[in-house]
Structure 1
Amino acid sequence: MSSTIKKVALRNLQIEDYKELKKSMIESYPEMAGSYWKEDDIKKLLKVFPEGQLVIVADGVVVGSALSILVTENFAFKTKTYKDITGNYTFSTHNEFGDVLYGIDVFINPNYRGLRLGRRLYDARKELCEQLNLRSIIFAGRIPSYGKYANEITPKVYIEKVKKKEVYDPVLSFQLSNDFHEVRVLKNYLAGDSESLEYAVLLEWNNIYYEDNKKLINVDKSVVRLGLIQWQMRSLNNLDALFEQAEFFIDAVSGYGSDFALFPELFTAPLMADYNHLSEAEAIKELAKHTDAIREKFQKYAISYNINIISGSMPYLEGGHVFNVGFLCRRDGTYEMYRKIHITPNEVFHWGMTGGDIIQTFDTDCGKIGIVICYDVEFPELSRLMANEGMNILFVPFLTDTQNGYTRVKHCAQARAIENECYVAIAGCVGNLPKVNNMDIQYAQAAVFTPSDFAFPSNGIKAEATPNTEMTLIVDVDINLLKELHEHGSVNTMKDRRHDLYQLKKLK
């Protein structure tokens, strides 16, 4: 390894680099005499796909390179030899409409190894793959140490030992550490590769940002803006007064370009003041008579303010039972209902509520979301099932009367964000509500929680509102950070589950 390097640069290959490129290639493959690209070959590559040819330059000298062509995924998977993939070394197989970046060569001059220069080339290839919206990077990697073990084990067993780090292979070990996974073993891949006994491993790196039939409009957003409403309980004379206050908040958060407005659980409770002379069970049924009108009004707000509204929750009468439900009112005018699954002892005792029986996620123009109401967030199975369906954001409208109740919601919501590698947004009611039985005091602090990894806040809290104060909280969340976390996080809680030992599934 050179110890006197002062400057390293990565850039596209130019034909003027050829002499230095040839020298580094010869030094990189001493066991394969004559295995270097001729100048005419490099000219052809630069003509058909200049952006796919990369070099590492150390103090002005070309010390490494990565060469690529474009092919279709089907062609990459069915082609079995290096000669065939390169069109007998003519690059006639390059397809400008290909959806895969095929790596035909990568090397670092042995005098410059140990500086992680190869990793720079691979990172640049990945970046190019993302920029060109390609499905993946594919290539066949040599296994130069296999010749030492060929009399003892098959290539398949050898690959498993390399994966388990029981055996080190200078090529395959490096590829696996760069997030490539093996597809299959190829025989007679590269003529003259005596070290590998002409075996190779077809490897693939998947572009998690690839979009099939990429759209120019109505593309799912990467950065999603959330508007959380910390609702002050107050006396309301009638339904119109509730609409006036709700529209004020919707107008406010939409004015900041929010994609979602989240209301708390049972924020409509002030309307029960008119029924305080009734029992709690009868009063909640009277409140439920307003639910359809509130949903219809929120649908109109969603359209006119161009925002997706999560209507917190409200009582709903169906078949003689009282459910705790809410509505996702999309800005395109459609809506869907969600129901609280787990009912608290208080809700059962005072209101005779019944739990819902549907576990679901919802498609929106900002991706797939989940919604659980208050107590539901304390049951990790619900959100895990939603995460299995691709949920990126979990919304939790809640209502807690004391700080210890809020603490349960907060810490469980944080746990859901970490274990499901998603964002969790919570919003509750604050203040006191006289003249409404069983709704005397409220405590809340709206917040957005994140996974706990380097791309996110170290404490897993994206933002928090001021406790027990009426306000809004506007927060941006980046969905692409979740995609990166799923594949390359410090830990992979979704991928590393032991499905061989336990599984979770819906019964309905």
Structure 2
Amino acid sequence: MTRFLVAAAQYPIERLEGWDAYEAKLTRWVDEAAAGGAALAVFPEYGAMELASLDPATMGDLAGSIETVSAQLPRVDALHSALAVRTGMHILAASAPRKDADGRFRNAARLFAPNGKSSVQDKLVMTRFEREQWDIAAGSSLRVFETALGRLAVSICYDSEFPLLARACVEAGAEVLLVPSCTDTLHGYWRVRIGAQARALEGQCYAVHSPTVGDAAWSPAVDENRGAAGVYGPPDRGMPEDGVLVVGAEGTAQWVFAEIDTAHVAELRADGGVLNARHWGEQPGAVALPPVEVVDLR
């Protein structure tokens, strides 16, 4: 499949009454994306932090919130896997802190395929609040996912602001870059959006941006959330002149939908008005790129 519809979530952080409320909310959101015709649904960075509200005793404590959410991940992932199989969609789950064997937490986005397969991309470059307040450790592996929709890569929020990460994925064949984000100011939102659009330009590919939205005063982790979902491409033939395929209304809980055609990525990389992807190595000082693992989810 080269042509498909993608849904990017402007996902609201909400206080949940219990697991059943979370399951109902996620199921409703996934079903809405499926009803809109999406083959791929993208949820934001740290959207899973609303699960901290399942434990009222710790939800007001940052460290306690992180522990609570991490402990829920096996059940959360089982739900996403079941929804992907039932709807026939690929789903990028909202990222969450995952506690690893070394006792450190890492910010993990998990991609679920409708055939039951799944994999994960950890965030690689930590923001100041993750380093200085959350004590989240950096991941180490960069992956590209071979799927029935094409080759997808994930660049979590701040990672999208570092071009060599996306470039390594492009050289490994990535056609669509998924950019889940969580930003508490419009400054942060625009940094990620500009990064996503720049990566689409450089790689002559699509970038799908999904942010958290809304206020959650009860949460010390995700109390303020600003942003708008969008799907971007390179400003070139067959694309909008500004590269913006769709963008949502900032702060509104909603899906935004756009059609992606990975065959058009190949066409532009071969014979676009410019050839950014091909000419990358001609930059003075172009450096060696990090290794990329290709994970087959077909």
Is TM (by shorter chain) over 0.5?
yes
Residue 231 of structure 1: aligned partner:
11
Superposition deviation, residue 294 in structure 1: 0.4
In the other structure, the counterpart of 1:489 is 272
Letter in 2 for 1:290: Q
Offset, 1:277: 6.2
Residue 139 of structure 1 is matched in structure 2 by: none
Residue 299 of structure 1 is matched in structure 2 by: 81
- The equivalent residue for 2:48 is 268
Residue 288 of structure 2 corresponds to which residue in structure 1? 504
What is aligned with 1:141?
none
Correspondence 1:426 to 2:215: no
1:317 aligns with 2:99: yes
Q: 1:271 Cα shift?
A: 2.3
**1:350 to 1:460, Cα distance in 2 relative to 1, 3 A:** same
Counterparts of 1:277 and 1:359, CA distance in 2: 32
The 5 Å alignment of 1:344-423 reads 344-423=127-206
Distance 1:278 1:402, change over 3 A: closer
Contact 2:165 2:289 in 1 (8 A): no
SS at match of 1:413: helix
Aligned partners of 1:489 and 1:275: how far apart in 2?
56
TM-score where L is the length of structure 1: 0.55
1:249 aligns with 2:33: no
Secondary structure, aligned partner of 2:193:
helix
Give the 3 Å change call, closer, same or farther, for CA 262–275 of structure 1 in structure 2.
Answer: farther
Determine which of 38, 41, 56 is the counterpart of 1:258. 38
Task: Quickly say closer, same or farther: Cα 1:458–1:251, change in 2 above 3 A.
Answer: same
Residue 283, structure 1, aligned to residue 65, structure 2: yes
User: Is the CA contact (8 Å cut-off) linking 1:395 and 1:424 kept in structure 2?
Assistant: yes
Output the amino acid matched with 2:66: I
2: CA distance between counterparts of 1:428 and 1:506? Answer: 26
> Which whole-Å CA distance do the structure 2 matches of 1:358 and 1:367 have between them?
20
Q: How does 1:68-467 map to 2 (within 5 A)?
A: 221-273=1-53, 274-276=56-58, 279-319=61-101, 320-467=103-250
Higher-Rg structure is 1
1:469 and 2:252 aligned: yes
Cα distance per residue 1:122-154 (max 9 Å; x no partner): xxxxxxxxxxxxxxxxxxxxxxxxxxxxxxxxx
Aligned-partner Cα distance in 1 for 2:57–2:232: 37
Root-mean-square deviation (CA, aligned residues, Å) is: 1.6
Contact 2:213 2:226 in 1 (8 A): yes
Contact preservation (8 Å) 1:393, 1:425: yes
Kindly report which structure 2 residues correspond to 1:26-105, keeping only aligned pairs within 5 A, or say none.
none
Instruction: Determine the C-alpha separation between the residues in 2 that align with 1:331 and 1:242.
Output: 21
1:500 CA displacement: 9.0
Distance in 2, matches of 1:387 and 1:504, equals: 14
Seq. identity, %: 25
- What displacement does 1:276 show? 3.9
Q: How many residues end up aligned between the 2 structures? A: 288
Offset at residue 365 of structure 1 (A): 0.3
Q: Which amino acid aligns with 2:161?
A: E
C-alpha contact 2:200 2:207 (8 A) present in aligned 1: yes
Secondary structure of 2:143's aligned partner: coil
Q: 1:229: Cα distance to partner?
A: 1.5
**Equivalent-residue separation in structure 2 for 1:500 and 1:462 (angstroms):** 28
Instruction: Classify 1:500/1:442 alpha carbon distance in 2 versus 1 (closer, same or farther; 3 Å).
Output: closer
Over residues 145-187 of structure 1, what are the superposed CA-to-partner deviations in whole Å (9 max), with x where a residue is unaligned?
xxxxxxxxxxxxxxxxxxxxxxxxxxxxxxxxxxxxxxxxxxx
Unaligned runs of 5+ in 2: 293-298
Once residues 286 and 257 of structure 1 are traced to their aligned partners in structure 2, the CA distance between those partners, rounded to angstroms, is 34
Where relative contact order (Cα < 8 A, 6+ residues apart) is larger, the structure is 2
Using the TM superposition, give the Cα deviation of residue 270 of structure 1 relative to its aligned residue in structure 2, in angstroms: 2.0
Looking at structure 1, the residues matched to 60 and 16 of structure 2 have their Cα atoms a distance apart, in angstroms, of 18
Structure 2 vs 1, CA of residues 269 and 500 (structure 1 numbering), >3 Å: closer, same or farther? closer
Q: Is the 8 Å Cα contact of residues 275 and 283 (structure 1) preserved in structure 2?
A: no
1:368 positional shift: 0.4
Work out the CA distance in 1 between the residues paired with 2:183 and 2:244. 20
**1:73-128 per-position Cα deviation (integer Å, ceiling 9, x unaligned):** xxxxxxxxxxxxxxxxxxxxxxxxxxxxxxxxxxxxxxxxxxxxxxxxxxxxxxxx
Change (3 A) 1:463 1:368: same
